[in-house]
Each structure stands twice: as structure tokens, then as C-alpha cells.
């Protein structure tokens, strides 16, 4: 008796813990999904309002907005300027250098913006070349001076007759070469 009741309560507990799917006869035969009966409810609003829990999009949205802002801050003026120059000013055309005419250094470029940059911001390429040549010349002079210095040192050390590598000796007239008091002096 007690075992039976214990068994029954255990069965009830098991049934509550692991709900077994009650397979009805109709679903066995059909084999399709279980027919759920939806409650027909007509709302006056846009359906049942759900509180959807999502992770915050604040930081992502803020980042994207700032990115768009900072890109467009300079992007739009640049795009406008480039479009207007391409439409209204246009690129140059290749032409033969006229006789006796030396083109300015910016007239060797095609696009108007490149020409503007070359004219107003950058130096004449010939000037850049000369600047580089000046640096090379300075370094060459320094090298030549240093080499000469070393060679002169070598010569003076070898021969010993230059202003370096000779050590001051006593004046000959200061040496007393007369007879000394003791014969060992």
C-alpha cells in the first residue's frame, strides 16, 4: 500500500518534471505539425506591444554618426571643388612647345588642380634639383676637407716637418756645456 502510493507520487513527480508529449490519434495519422489553436483577438492598436530586450546600440550609432560627420566635413567641399573644376575649368590639352617659348614649370601638367598645386604650393622642380645639388656640393666639400686633413696629418707624422707632430724642445742656448762640479753631471 505504502509502496503503491510512493510509486504513484513518484510517477506524478516524474510526469510533472518531464512532460511527455501527449500524442493524439489525429496527429499520428496526419504527420504534419501539431495544429495549434490561435485565439482570435482583434486589437484596436498595432498588436500586442512587446518589450524587446536588445543590447545597447548607442555607442555604435554614435560612432557611425561621428564617422560620417568627420568624413563629410572635408569630403563634401573637396568633392564639390573637384567636380566644379572638372566641369568648368577642365583639363589642358597637349600641344607642341611653340618656337622660342619656354613654358613655366606648372605648364607641364594636365589637370588644373595639379597645376595649381605646382604653381602655388610646390617649388619649381629645377629649384628643387638645385637645392639638392647644393646639399651634395656641401657634403662633397666636407668630404674633401676631411680627406685632405687626414692626408696632411699622415704626411706630417711621417716627415715630421709640419706644425703638428713635433714637440717643443729646449732652446740650445739654455744648455750649459761647460765643465761641471762633479764628473757625473
Binding site for another protein (CB under 8 A): 87-97, 103, 107-110, 115, 129, 132-133, 136-137, 139-140, 143-144
Nearest to 80 by CA among 48, 113, 106, 31: 113
CB atoms within 10 A of CB 115: 19
- Cβ proximity to another protein: between 52 and 95 the closer is 95
- Cβ proximity to another protein: between 111 and 156 the closer is 111
Record the cell numbers describing residue 70, joined without a space: 568627420
Contacts of 37 (CB under 8 A, 6+ apart): none
CB of 122 to another protein, least distance (A): 15
- Cβ proximity to another protein: between 129 and 165 the closer is 129
Q: What span, in angstroms and rounded, lies between the C-alpha atoms of 36 and 143? A: 97
Contacts of 109 (CB under 8 A, 6+ apart): 92, 115, 118
CB of 136 to another protein, least distance (A): 5
- Cβ proximity to another protein: between 14 and 132 the closer is 132
- Cβ proximity to another protein: between 90 and 162 the closer is 90
Q: What span, in angstroms and rounded, lies between the C-alpha atoms of 142 and 146? A: 6
Q: What span, in angstroms and rounded, lies between the C-alpha atoms of 83 and 77? A: 10
CB of 95 to another protein, least distance (A): 4
CB of 55 to another protein, least distance (A): 46
CB-CB contact of 46 with 77 (8 Å): no
CB of 124 to another protein, least distance (A): 12
Amino acid at each position: 500500500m505504502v509502496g503503491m502510493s510512493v510509486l504513484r507520487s513518484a510517477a506524478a513527480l516524474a510526469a510533472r518534471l518531464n512532460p511527455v508529449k501527449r500524442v493524439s490519434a489525429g496527429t499520428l495519422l496526419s504527420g504534419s505539425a501539431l495544429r495549434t489553436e490561435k485565439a482570435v483577438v482583434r486589437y484596436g492598436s498595432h498588436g500586442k506591444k512587446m518589450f524587446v530586450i536588445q543590447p545597447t546600440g548607442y555607442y555604435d550609432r554614435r560612432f557611425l554618426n561621428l564617422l560620417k560627420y568627420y568624413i563629410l566635413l572635408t569630403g563634401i567641399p573637396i568633392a564639390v571643388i573637384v567636380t566644379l573644376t572638372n566641369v568648368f575649368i577642365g583639363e589642358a590639352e597637349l600641344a607642341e612647345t611653340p618656337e622660342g617659348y619656354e613654358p613655366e614649370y606648372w605648364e607641364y601638367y594636365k589637370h588644373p588642380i595639379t597645376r595649381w598645386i605646382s604653381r602655388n604650393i610646390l617649388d619649381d622642380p629645377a629649384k628643387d634639383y638645385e637645392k639638392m645639388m647644393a646639399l651634395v656640393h656641401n657634403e662633397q666639400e666636407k668630404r674633401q676637407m676631411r680627406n685632405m686633413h687626414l692626408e696632411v696629418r699622415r704626411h706630417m707624422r711621417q716627415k715630421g716637418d709640419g706644425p703638428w707632430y713635433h714637440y717643443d724642445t729646449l732652446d740650445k742656448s739654455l744648455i750649459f756645456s761647460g765643465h761641471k762640479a762633479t764628473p757625473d753631471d
